[in-house]
């Protein structure tokens, strides 16, 4: 198992890519810390991880609440004494064109998708530096590389996450900590549940593989990057998009 006994925090782990990542890590032998704002979802994913044979702990967590983030990290350290992997997956969308976007829509997305990544990363980094090891994995998006109509806030946040990744890989690499980002394309998650079928068909047509990605396909990349097999990968942004940006 590639992640045997690695203490791994996954935010936004209640559904979609986050839930798939938590379960993949569990199957790879990690001790999984499941974090999400949805308490019932946390309970469900923790149970699934335990059914897969892993140790798992859950926290109902809002990544925009720094006091709650610090408390979660303190609890994890009290129990396990170390943190090996952080997957910053928590994210939301509040789409609108520039002319129609409200300040609340803009602020909500920046707070969760960008500030939240900062909060949790800063909360764990001191212990990783003390350990001389660690992996931080950030959820960006192809939208964070190429932009997207109606997603000023989301694009800005995901561009920002890439900036975090590049900067932290320089700052923390000499201390034994690797920082990378994953940029998914169109992934079949609950976020797409309200998208009309004709729009989904057009989305599939944009992908050379002619299908949407599955959450497990992104989780597989996170698991690889978290493992020692990726020991010389640092500062990378890896697209998982089926080639849609070609």
Question: Is the CB of residue 184 less than 8 Å from the CB of residue 142?
Answer: yes
Q: Quote the pLDDT of residue 244.
A: 92
Nearest to 33 by CA among 95, 92, 84, 105: 84
Q: Is residue 81 part of a domain?
A: yes
Q: Is residue 243 part of a domain?
A: no
| Ranges in the chain, pLDDT < 50 | none
Q: Is residue 182 part of a domain?
A: yes
Q: Is residue 31 part of a domain?
A: yes
Q: Quote the pLDDT of residue 124.
A: 98
Rounded CA-CA distance 213/217 in Å is 7
Q: Read off the pTM.
A: 0.96
User: Which of the residues 146, 149, 154, 232 is marked catalytic?
Assistant: 154
Q: How far is CA 230 from CA 65, 84, 178, 227, in A?
A: 32, 14, 9, 6
Q: What stretch of H or E contains 32?
A: strand 31-36
Q: Is residue 138 part of a domain?
A: yes
154 catalytic residue (yes or no): yes
Q: What is the total residue count of the chain?
A: 246
DSSP per residue over 36-101, as a string? ES-HHHHHHHHHHHHHTT--EEEEE--TT-HHHHHHHHHHHHHHHS---EEEE-------B-TTT-
CA-derived radius of gyration, the chain: 17
Rounded CA-CA distance 157/180 in Å is 16
CA within 13 Å, CB half, 80: 23
Q: Is residue 245 part of a domain?
A: no
Find tokens 């998009």 and name the residue: 241
Q: Quote the pLDDT of residue 193.
A: 74
Q: Quote the pLDDT of residue 191.
A: 77
How many C-beta atoms surround the C-beta of residue 155 within 10 A?
Answer: 19
Q: Quote the pLDDT of residue 141.
A: 96
Question: Is the CB of residue 145 less than 8 Å from the CB of residue 241?
Answer: no
Structural domains counted in the chain: 1
Q: Quote the pLDDT of residue 196.
A: 82
Q: Quote the pLDDT of residue 190.
A: 84
Q: Is residue 61 part of a domain?
A: yes
125: CATH: 3.40.50.720
Burial of 236 (0-12, 13-18, 19+ CB in 10 A): middle
Q: Quote the pLDDT of residue 171.
A: 98
Q: Provide the residue range defining the domain that includes 45.
A: 7-237
Q: What stretch of H or E contains 238?
A: strand 237-240
Q: Is residue 184 part of a domain?
A: yes
Q: What beta strand segments (E) does 63-222 contain? A: 85-88, 134-139, 177-184
């Amino acid at each position: 198992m590639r992640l045997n006994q690695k203490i791994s925090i996954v935010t936004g782990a209640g559904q979609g890519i986050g839930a798939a990542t938590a379960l993949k890590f569990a199957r790879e032998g990690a001790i999984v810390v499941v974090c999400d704002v949805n308490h019932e979802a946390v309970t469900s994913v923790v149970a699934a991880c335990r059914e897969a044979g892993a140790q798992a702990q859950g926290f109902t967590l809002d990544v925009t609440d720094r006091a709650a983030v610090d408390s979660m990290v303190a609890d994890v350290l009290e129990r396990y004494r170390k943190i090996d992997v952080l997957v910053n997956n928590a994210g939301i969308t509040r789409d609108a064109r520039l002319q129609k976007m409200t300040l609340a829509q803009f602020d909500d997305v920046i707070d969760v998708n960008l500030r939240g990544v900062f909060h949790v990363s800063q909360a764990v980094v001191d212990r990783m530096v003390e350990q001389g090891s660690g992996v931080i994995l950030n959820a960006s998006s192809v939208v964070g590389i190429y932009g997207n109509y109606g997603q000023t806030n989301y694009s800005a946040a995901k561009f920002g996450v890439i900036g975090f990744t590049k900067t932290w890989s320089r700052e923390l690499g000499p201390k034994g900590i690797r920082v990378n980002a994953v940029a998914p394309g169109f992934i079949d998650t609950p976020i797409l549940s309200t998208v009309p079928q004709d729009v989904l068909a057009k989305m599939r047509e944009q992908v050379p593989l002619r299908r949407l990605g599955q959450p497990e396909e992104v989780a597989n990349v996170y698991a690889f990057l978290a493992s020692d097999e990726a020991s010389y990968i640092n500062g990378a942004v890896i697209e998982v998009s089926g080639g849609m940006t070609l």
